[in-house]
Every structure is written in structure tokens, then in C-alpha cells.
């Protein structure tokens, strides 16, 4: 919520807190969030991720194709999609991208999830250093995240309406995605 975010950012500016911000390609986040919200709203399941719902990307693509109007509703932040949800509204995709862009310069440490897939120990060691933990970071071991970086590309290749959704993003959202370090 904005009031909580304001207090967090105020504490970071005053150097009373560090903000470690882990983010990923916004289109991967959009797909992951859609899957999570659907499972949460329907099954009240909080631990759902793409890999627990679908056997493979092909199954995700088939479900997205079948339920694309619902996906579009989610991406727009349509209150009807979240009607059974309590709490504040979920951000429409363009606002989600804007929020990511706003958090990056405020972060003490910003890490891309895709980099955890390449070298999880290296990325984890950055967190340990910010936290000032006395630990030999050369001995850190970590498994890569259980996610597929840039899965949205495979989905766009197999679901024409998703590709059209990407192509139809407004210029400002596309530029924000590029400014946070991702290609469109």
C-alpha cells in the first residue's frame, strides 16, 4: 500500500533501513502473478507458482489461450477479476511496471531474478554483504530459483493473443521496461 511504501522509502532515505529489491522481467511477473492470483482466488492456495500448476510451458500456453479474456482482465487490474479478494486492489500491468521503475533507484541493492538463475551463490552473497553478516561468502551455496527466466518469450511464440498483448503495450510501459534493463 502507498502508506507502507512511503514509510519504507523514508526509512531507506534516512539510512535506518536497507531495501533489497529483487525483480524480474515484468512480462514474466505478469504471467506468474496471473497464475498465482487465479489459484489464490479459486483454491485459496498461497504457494502456487507456474511450475506447480503446469507440467510444462505448453500446458501454460494452452491454458492462457483458453482463458485469455481473463488474463486481459487481470492485466488491466479489472476489479471484477479481484471481486472475491480482500484488501487493496492489485495494480494493472502498466502501474506494476511503473512501480518497479520507481523502486529501483531507491533500493540499497537491486537484483534481477534472472541473475540468480545464472549464479545464485553470487547473487546471494550480495545480500549477505548488504546485511553485514560476518560470513565467508566464498563458501555460500545456493540452488537456482525454480523458475524459467524469460518464459514469456516462449509463451509469446505459442500464444498469438499474448504476443498481440505485448505488441499493444503503450509506449510509456515499453520504455519503462527497457529503462529497468529488459528488452522488448
pLDDT at 45: 67
Contacts of 131 (CB under 8 A, 6+ apart): 18
pTM of the model: 0.86
Report pLDDT digits (tens) over 90-123.
Answer: 889 999 999 999 889 999 999 999 999 998 888 8
pLDDT at 137: 60
pLDDT at 76: 94
Contacts of 162 (CB under 8 A, 6+ apart): 64, 68, 71, 152, 155, 156
Total number of domains constituting the chain: 1
Range of lowest pLDDT (19-23, 48-52, 56-60): 48-52
In a domain, 149, yes or no: yes
Domain that holds residue 45: 2-179
pLDDT at 181: 93
In a domain, 184, yes or no: no
Amino acid at each position: 500500500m502507498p502508506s507502507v511504501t512511503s514509510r519504507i522509502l523514508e526509512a531507506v532515505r534516512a539510512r535506518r533501513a536497507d531495501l533489497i529489491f529483487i525483480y524480474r522481467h515484468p512480462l514474466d511477473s505478469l504471467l506468474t502473478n496471473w497464475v498465482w492470483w487465479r489459484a489464490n482466488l479459486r483454491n485459496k492456495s498461497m504457494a502456487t507458482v507456474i511450475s506447480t500448476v503446469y507440467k510444462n510451458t505448453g500446458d501454460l500456453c494452452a491454458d492462457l489461450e483458453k482463458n485469455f479474456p481473463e488474463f486481459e482482465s487481470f492485466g488491466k487490474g479489472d476489479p471484477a477479476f479481484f471481486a472475491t479478494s480482500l484488501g487493496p486492489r492489485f495494480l494493472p500491468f502498466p502501474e506494476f511496471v511503473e512501480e518497479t521503475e520507481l523502486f529501483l533507484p531507491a533500493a540499497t541493492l537491486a537484483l534481477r531474478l534472472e541473475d540468480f538463475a545464472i549464479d545464485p551463490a553470487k547473487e546471494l552473497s550480495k545480500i549477505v554483504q548488504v546485511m553485514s553478516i560476518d560470513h565467508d561468502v566464498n563458501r555460500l551455496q545456493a540452488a537456482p530459483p525454480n523458475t524459467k527466466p524469460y518464459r514469456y518469450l516462449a509463451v509469446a511464440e505459442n500464444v498469438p493473443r499474448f504476443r498481440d498483448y505485448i505488441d499493444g503495450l503503450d509506449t510509456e510501459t515499453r520504455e519503462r521496461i527497457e529503462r529497468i534493463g529488459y528488452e522488448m
